[in-house]
């Protein structure tokens, strides 16, 4: 049995589950911003004035609930008289007319909502010695205020700050002199770092699912990818965690410090005595706790790499899916899948047959009727034994292959050797030399072929260029497309 409601009021979550939840959430955030501005609570008059300004900005102002839900009633069930979906009471004239509060009565509505929030346990009221009434946050409601505020502002996680927090706590004089505080602080940062990365890993799936929900247009996919996903995953702190080298820079030093403290019995003894006072443990128990915290920090940092790899894999998967969805929308009729979709759409619209044929945007197939021949059947074929036979080379091709093999064995076809072969033929002034003037035998023919390949593929690294023509030439028994070689002019 959970003991949560042993500490929390039973109706704490009613405002956020009621039909007026949007108004309650807005008022809680208004109060929380005031609370952050003032050091010792917020006077009731200031809270009511801020709530009053909120209600004055509304066209229809709901009245606060006069009672919470019945304990046996499901959470969020509307109160009697509420109009579901509007969050207001029905008017006697029309069920579609929202209840309104006169502008002079907005302060009454503000006071009523504040009173309800105090009754539900979100806040408490204290009267000072000068009779001023101050509204404070209930201690157990603090994390819920923070959660609402973070959701409204957009949750941002600084993964780097956790790494720096661990480093500054363990590597330096603070850990040597006050290890009982430094280790606890470093352990908290390590847990928050891992938990934040786990949440990030799980939330990528939400962005992937958004690409499949409905049939988003291209501009919607781009918005999801660049405005939502890129902002949360790529452009945020995770990108800095991966690119600024802070993890690879600080992690070895942190692990070295942890190993040093675990091996230092004197430091463990001194720190355990101080930790025992803080945690109300025996010295031996505090020593075991200290070892456990340091070990967890070490293991958490060592196990980050598999988690980061999984995040990167999901990120690549998301980018690929996003790109494919955009391509499918832009070129839906250019792919086989798009053409099949177009055919099926034509069938669904009743086009063809009695309705008359329609010419599609492609000629893949025109459907007239369905019969047995429309079904796909696996084709079988008999392979001819001649398909596995190798045609013998003619004498010229065989001689060329043998010469090429011998030249490669003697390393005569490297770019440097081929350039040396062209060196005496090409003048230094850069004038062109026809290739058929160089060919005299099979070895020179093979070298000319390689020279043309190197001149095209190696750009400026090969000292000769090649210029091709459309006609063919012959030199003895060698026939090939006409081309010239010339030296590259050095700048």
Q: Tell me what the mean pLDDT of segment 421-447 comes to.
A: 89
Q: Tell me what the mean pLDDT of segment 369-390 comes to.
A: 58
Both structure tokens of 490: 């050095």
For 404-413, b/e burial (b = at least 16 CB within 10 A) is beebeeeebb
Phi, psi of 472 (to 5 degrees): -110, 150
Q: Please, which residues bridge with residue 123 across strands?
A: 137
With beta carbons less than 8 A apart as the criterion, state whether 187 and 293 touch: yes
pLDDT-wise least confident of 104-113, 157-166, 203-212: 203-212
HSE-CB of 72 using CA atoms within 13 angstroms: 0
Digit-coded pLDDT (tens) for 273-319: 888 888 888 989 988 999 999 999 999 888 888 888 887 787 777 77
d(C-alpha 288, C-alpha 275), whole Å: 11
d(C-alpha 191, C-alpha 162), whole Å: 9
Q: Tell me what the mean pLDDT of segment 404-433 comes to.
A: 87
d(C-alpha 103, C-alpha 58), whole Å: 10
Question: Confidence class of residue 143 from pLDDT cuts 50, 70 and 90?
Answer: confident
Q: What pLDDT, on a 0 to 100 scale, did the predictor assign at position 484?
A: 92
Q: What pLDDT, on a 0 to 100 scale, did the predictor assign at position 378?
A: 60
Domain range list for the chain: 7-152, 156-322, 339-371, 395-487
Q: Which residue has the tokens 């809270």?
A: 47
CB atoms under 10 Å from CB of 81, counted, come to 12
Mean of the per-residue pLDDT values of the chain: 75
d(C-alpha 18, C-alpha 70), whole Å: 12
Q: For CA atoms 31, 32, 34, 35, give the dihedral sign.
A: positive
Regarding predicted confidence, which is higher, 101 or 482? 482
Question: Confidence class of residue 337 from pLDDT cuts 50, 70 and 90?
Answer: low
pLDDT at 196 over 70: yes
Q: What pLDDT, on a 0 to 100 scale, did the predictor assign at position 391?
A: 67
**Percent of the chain having pLDDT more than 70?**
68
Regarding predicted confidence, which is higher, 243 or 398? 398
Q: Please, which residues bridge with residue 478 across strands?
A: 475
Q: What pLDDT, on a 0 to 100 scale, did the predictor assign at position 231?
A: 63
- Secondary structure, 3-state, 417-451: HHHHHHCCCCCCCCCCEEHHHCCCCHHHHHHHHHH
pLDDT at 356 over 60: no
Question: Confidence class of residue 333 from pLDDT cuts 50, 70 and 90?
Answer: low
Digit-coded pLDDT (tens) for 80-138: 333 333 333 333 333 333 344 455 578 888 888 999 999 998 988 888 777 888 888 88
Digit-coded pLDDT (tens) for 45-56: 999 999 988 888
Regarding predicted confidence, which is higher, 369 or 234? 234
Phi, psi of 479 (to 5 degrees): -125, 135
Q: Which residue has the tokens 């070490």?
A: 298
pLDDT at 488 over 70: yes
Close Cβ partners of 427 (under 8 Å, ≥ 6 residues apart): 433, 487
């Amino acid at each position: 049995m959970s003991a949560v409601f042993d500490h929390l009021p039973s109706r704490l979550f009613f405002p956020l589950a009621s039909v007026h939840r949007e108004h309650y959430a807005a008022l809680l955030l208004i109060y929380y911003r005031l609370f952050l501005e003032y050091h010792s609570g917020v006077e009731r008059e200031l809270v009511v004035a801020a709530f009053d300004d909120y209600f004055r900005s509304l066209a229809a102002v709901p009245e606060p609930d006069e009672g919470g839900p019945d304990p046996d009633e499901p959470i969020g069930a509307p109160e009697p008289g509420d109009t579901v979906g509007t969050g207001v009471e029905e008017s006697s004239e029309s069920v579609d007319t929202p209840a309104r509060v006169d502008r002079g009565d907005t302060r009454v509505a503000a006071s009523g909502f504040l009173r309800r929030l105090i009754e539900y346990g979100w806040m408490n009221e204290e009267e000072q010695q000068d009779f001023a009434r101050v509204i404070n946050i209930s201690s157990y409601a603090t994390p819920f205020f923070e959660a609402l505020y973070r959701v409204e502002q957009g949750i941002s996680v600084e993964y780097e700050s956790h790494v720096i927090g661990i480093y500054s706590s363990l590597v330096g004089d603070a850990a040597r002199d006050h290890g009982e505080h430094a280790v606890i602080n470093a352990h908290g940062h390590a847990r928050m770092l891992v938990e934040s990365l786990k949440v990030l890993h799980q939330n990528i799936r939400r962005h992937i699912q958004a690409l499949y929900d409905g049939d988003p247009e291209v501009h919607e996919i781009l918005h999801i990818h660049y405005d939502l996903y890129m902002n949360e995953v790529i452009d945020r702190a995770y990108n800095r965690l991966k690119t600024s080298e802070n993890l690879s820079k600080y992690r070895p030093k942190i692990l070295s410090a942890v190993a040093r403290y675990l091996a230092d019995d004197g430091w463990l003894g001194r720190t355990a005595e101080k930790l025992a006072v803080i945690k109300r443990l025996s010295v031996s128990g505090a020593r075991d706790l200290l070892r456990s915290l340091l070990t967890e920090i070490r293991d958490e940092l060592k196990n980050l790499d598999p988690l980061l790899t999984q995040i990167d894999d999901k990120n690549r998967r998301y980018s690929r899916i996003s790109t494919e969805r955009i391509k499918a929308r832009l070129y839906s009729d250019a792919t086989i899948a798009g053409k099949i979709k177009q055919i099926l759409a034509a069938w669904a619209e009743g086009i063809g047959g009695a309705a008359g044929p329609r010419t599609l945007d492609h000629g893949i197939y025109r459907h007239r009727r369905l019969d047995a021949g429309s079904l796909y059947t696996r084709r079988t074929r008999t392979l001819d034994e001649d398909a596995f036979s190798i045609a013998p080379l003619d004498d010229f091709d065989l001689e060329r292959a043998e010469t090429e093999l011998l030249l490669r064995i003697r390393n005569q076809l490297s770019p440097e050797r081929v350039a040396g072969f062209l060196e005496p033929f090409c003048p230094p002034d850069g004038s062109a030399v026809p290739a058929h003037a160089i060919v005299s035998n099979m070895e020179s023919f093979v070298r000319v072929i390689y020279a043309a390949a190197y001149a095209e593929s190696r750009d400026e690294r090969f000292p000769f260029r090649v210029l091709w023509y459309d006609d063919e030439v012959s030199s003895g028994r060698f026939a090939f497309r006409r081309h010239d070689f010339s030296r590259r002019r050095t700048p």
